[in-house]
Each structure stands twice: as structure tokens, then as C-alpha cells.
Amino acid sequence: MLTESTVDNKHSIILVEDDIDVSNILAGHFNLAKFKVYKTASAIECLAKLKELNNRVDIILINGTIAADRGPMLIVNIRKLNLDVKIFALAENENSKTRVLDYGADEFAVKPISPTTVVEKISMLLMKKPVESQIK
């Protein structure tokens, strides 16, 4: 099920979270931080939403279960559609963090982690400039 919420937004995020309660909690925290939130529950829904938005999204947050199971292919497919979007993965454990980074995630955090910390880490990631622009 795809749902979205709007506030006076500065950034947009696709949440890929199959637990509706966790998705709602994260969406609430991102709304408070002025993000436009698109909630998806699977890799397929995420890719469909990314295409629907014409790749105009700032960041995609992939939960640990999806990141460990279908996340690597999801990350590869996201990169095929949009090289510029940031990808943040919530890893279930230390072992899966290397895997998601190897497949192209920009950042990760290991669960458990507070929603406030997730929002802070993603906000920091969005403030980072690409390496090419730092060199110039």
C-alpha cells in the first residue's frame, strides 16, 4: 500500500518498511522534520514510487529486513534509475552493513536505533556534498 504525507517540505523521502507501525512512527518523525514522506512496504513498491516521482526524491530509507533480504538488488535497481538519490539502510546486524554499502548504499545504521537518530543521520547525509563538488 502506497501512502504519502505532505507538510511544508524541504526534502522528500521514500520509506521502504514492511512493518506498518514502524513505518508510521518513522513517517511521523520525518514529517516533524519537514520531509515529504512516501511510504512503501516492499522493494517493488519502492521502485514503482521512484518511477512515479520521475526519480525526484532526495533519499530512500530501506529497513533492515528488506535490506538483508532483497535490499542488495533493490539498491542496484535504484542506482540504475537514479544515481543521485541517497540511500540509507537500517542494517539488522554488523554483518549486513558491509553488504549494503558494497551494493551502493550511502550510509547505514545498525538496529536498534531511535527514530530521532535516524532523522538526524539522514539530515546529515543530505547536507554532504558529492565528492566531485568538494574537489572543485
Per-residue model confidence (pLDDT) at position 61:
97
Inter-residue contact 98 to 86 (CB < 8 Å): no
What does the block give as the cell for 136?
572543485
Per-residue model confidence (pLDDT) at position 7:
44
Per-residue model confidence (pLDDT) at position 136:
44
Alpha-carbon span 35 to 58, nearest angstrom: 10
Per domain, the residue ranges of the chain are 3-135
Q: Which helix (H) or strand (E) holds 117?
A: helix 115-127
Inter-residue contact 23 to 51 (CB < 8 Å): no
Stated pTM of the model:
0.86
Note the pLDDT tens digit of each residue in 62-121. Answer: 986 775 566 678 998 999 988 899 999 988 788 777 778 888 899 999 989 999 999 999
Q: b/e per residue, 12-50, with b = 16+ CB within 10 A? A: bbbbbbeeeebbeebbebbeebebbbbbbbebebbbebb
Q: Does domain 3-135 have CATH number 3.30.1360.120?
A: no
